[in-house]
Copies of this chain bind each other. A is one copy, B any other.
Amino acid sequence: MLTKPFEALHLGDHTTTRARTITETDIVLFASLSGDWYPLHTDSDYAAHSIFGQRVAHGLLILAITSGLLIMEPRLVVAFYGMDRVRFTGPTFIGDTIHVETEVVVREDRAERGGLVTFQIETKKSTGDTVLAALLKILVAKADPTSS
């Protein structure tokens, strides 16, 4: 997603990542690490009686895996500011395989500090359904810090 300096990133640039299958192991590990044992994720009886009919991955697990699927060259990331409009747009089930699509949607020059770039990311199943959408705001280094 981020393999070029600010000057070489253009509005509309898009990338697609490799894919990863979401497993029961991922859900148990995320519940364990976060401490979030909400029953829709970790109680198969409860989940069977929900509108989903089965256990659903934590939204924040999908967000965490999304971050790992993205490729960011360290020397280009000046700072990770945050995220806006993070939306969990559909359930991810055990066995679903997801990848991430990214697009540059805002470019703001910040002079010698670099450029603030907003990426629209969409995490999708191999069926094409989007399960997560968000805007990521990253301060990106310039190739030439004196350019503008």
Contacts and interface: CB of A to CB of B under 8 A. Distances in A.
* Identical subunits present: 6
Looking at chain A, what size class is its interface with the partner chain?
35 or more
A53 interface: no
Interface of A: 18-21, 23-26, 28-30, 32-40, 42-46, 55, 58-61, 63-65, 67-69, 72, 74, 77, 80-88, 95, 97, 126
A86 B86 contact: yes
Given A35-B65, A44-B97, 13 more contacts: A18-B43, A19-B43, A20-B43, A23-B24, A24-B24, A32-B33, A33-B65, A36-B64, A36-B67, A38-B74, A44-B95, A82-B86, A84-B85
B64 A97 contact: no
B29 A72 contact: no
Contacts of A58: 67
A123 to B, nearest CB: 13
A43 B77 contact: no
A25 B40 CA distance: 17
A81 to B, nearest CB: 7
Contacts of A84: 84-86
A67 B25 CA distance: 19
15 contacts: A20-B43, A21-B45, A25-B25, A26-B28, A29-B32, A36-B64, A36-B67, A36-B68, A38-B74, A38-B77, A40-B74, A45-B126, A58-B67, A83-B83, A84-B86
